[in-house]
Structure 1
Amino acid sequence: MFIRNETFYSFRKNYPLITGIVAIHFLLFLWMNVSNWTNGLIPLGGFIFQLGVGNNYAVATGEFWRLVTPIFLHIGAGHVLFNSFSLVLFGPALEKMLGKFKFLIAYLSAGILANIATFILTGPGYTHLGASGAIFGLFGIYLYMIWKRKDLIDAANAQLILVILILGVVMTFLNPGINITAHIFGLISGLALAPLFLTNALPFYAYPSTAGHGEATFRSSRWKMKRFSASSFIRIIGWGFIILVIIGIINRLLQW
């Protein structure tokens, strides 16, 4: 569910929405920083930052697009890499289970609600940006699965989500410069919206996947036979520890 074995080709075919969002992350990040790298010769990057950054005062004066645009903007290489890496790991299963349209609405809704909470609960001069609120919204949907829809997630993946979620919440309060409000309310928003979006959802293994060059075609029967095997369980746990280590290292390096 969270182990990525695809080639880039098959990942792009299977999860076009995730691919597109990550591409937007990096395109806007490069665009925002190109003015710095060229000594100000291309000032458009700074203009995008000024126009799109979450700013409570600007929202209060009617610039409501700033409740949406911060979801796609990042400052610093570690910031964009961490959020994009998280989306690539945890977004694909939901893109399959919800469908492209529902996934996009759920992702944006959680991010926007997190930004609305930030506007209401933080000071008038507060500024922010990043996809973290929307990504925590995805964790909120998974948390609802673990709580109410156990038919959609197996025990090993549920444990992995809970460990990473607990770690993410702890780091939210320990890491300086984090938009705590967006993280917490993104999670709450995903949890609250999950029943609406999971109404007709099936488990991830029930959906076919497009095979890449040289890859075997996905067979749900083969997945069902192997998903509870000891080797599969160990593999998932092993990847879980690797993910936790990567998250810890990145958070040490981030200076937001």
Structure 2
Amino acid sequence: MSHSEEPAFNAPPVTLFLVASIIVSHILLTVADQETINWIYGALAFDVGQVERLLNGAAGASLIQFLVTLNTHMILHHDFMHMLVNAFMLLAFGSMVERTFGPVRFVIVFLVAGWVGAILEALVSMPVTEPSLLYGASGGVFGTMGVTTLLMLPKFGLRGVVSFAAVLMGVNLVIGLTPLGALLAGEGATISWAAHVGGYVTGLLFAIWFLSRLARRP
């Protein structure tokens, strides 16, 4: 009888840490009082109108808040299902990115994709006529999905990869641009299709860069 030393659950450490952080943060919020929850979302979620105010030099625009919330908004989620879906996809796609390119590049992809997604959401929302907050790890998650798309190329071929990307973006746009998105997101929330697209394209570009550097190595 052979004995395998391979653990049954062997997600790479940085991916596992991020997923655990997302889950633990959401659990802590579920036991907080409503005043605390409102303060945390108001302080750490990404204010979609902040970009427009910064570009216009409006009073009250804060560059520091903008830079901070570009990162902190990715740890917050709307409800348990929103958190669970992002955590599961990050575990699946983030693990592949970290195993292939290492933890540093994985973190870079996740963060930059989240930044680009948030900023793109702000740009397509202009002019912002009412307060709007963006939160969730979806931009970063879609970045890891973009990288994984190119990693699947040798196995599934160009047609398979293009079909996967087309279906993914098609579903994303349908959900984000129709009443179906509001129905799935729940009362008072919508699904940010622009943040998903921005994150995904960012991941694709990073994958092209990473793979081209690997190809040039002797």
Q: Normalising TM by the smaller chain, what interval? A: 0.7 to 0.9
On the 8 A contact 2:46/2:133 being kept in 1, the answer is yes
Number of positions where the alignment pairs a residue of Structure 1 with one of Structure 2: 183
Corresponding residue of 1:132: 138
Corresponding residue of 2:197: 184
- Could you tell me the percent identity over the aligned residues? 24
How far does residue 166 in structure 1 lie from its aligned partner after superposition?
4.2
Corresponding residue of 1:93: 96
How far does residue 196 in structure 1 lie from its aligned partner after superposition?
2.5
Q: TM-score, normalized by length of structure 2? A: 0.72
**Which of structure 1's runs of 4+ aligned residues deviate more than 6 A?**
none
On the 8 A contact 2:96/2:148 being kept in 1, the answer is no
How far does residue 26 in structure 1 lie from its aligned partner after superposition?
1.1
- Pick from 18, 21, 30 the counterpart of residue 18 of structure 2: 21
State the alpha-carbon separation in 1 of the partners of residues 87 and 105 from structure 2: 20
On the 8 A contact 2:93/2:148 being kept in 1, the answer is no
State the alpha-carbon separation in 1 of the partners of residues 38 and 96 from structure 2: 35
How far does residue 7 in structure 1 lie from its aligned partner after superposition?
2.5
Q: Within the alignment, does 1:113 sit opposite 2:119 as a pair? A: no
State the alpha-carbon separation in 2 of the partners of residues 196 and 163 from structure 1: 22
Structure 1 pair 144/122, CA: closer, same or farther in 2 (3 Å)? same
Structure 1 pair 21/200, CA: closer, same or farther in 2 (3 Å)? same
Amino acid at match of 1:84: A
Amino acid at match of 1:195: I
Map Cα deviations across residues 132-188 of structure 1 (whole Å, 9 max, x no partner). Answer: 111111222233445xxx4xx4228x94x6666444323322223110110111111
On the 8 A contact 1:98/1:201 being kept in 2, the answer is no
How far does residue 131 in structure 1 lie from its aligned partner after superposition?
1.1
State the alpha-carbon separation in 2 of the partners of residues 34 and 58 from structure 1: 29
Corresponding residue of 2:156: 155
Name structure 1 gaps, 5 residues minimum: 203-256
Corresponding residue of 1:7: 8
Report matched runs for 1:167-246 at 5 Å.
167-172=167-172, 173-174=174-175, 175-176=181-182, 177-201=190-214
Q: TM-score, normalized by length of structure 1? A: 0.63
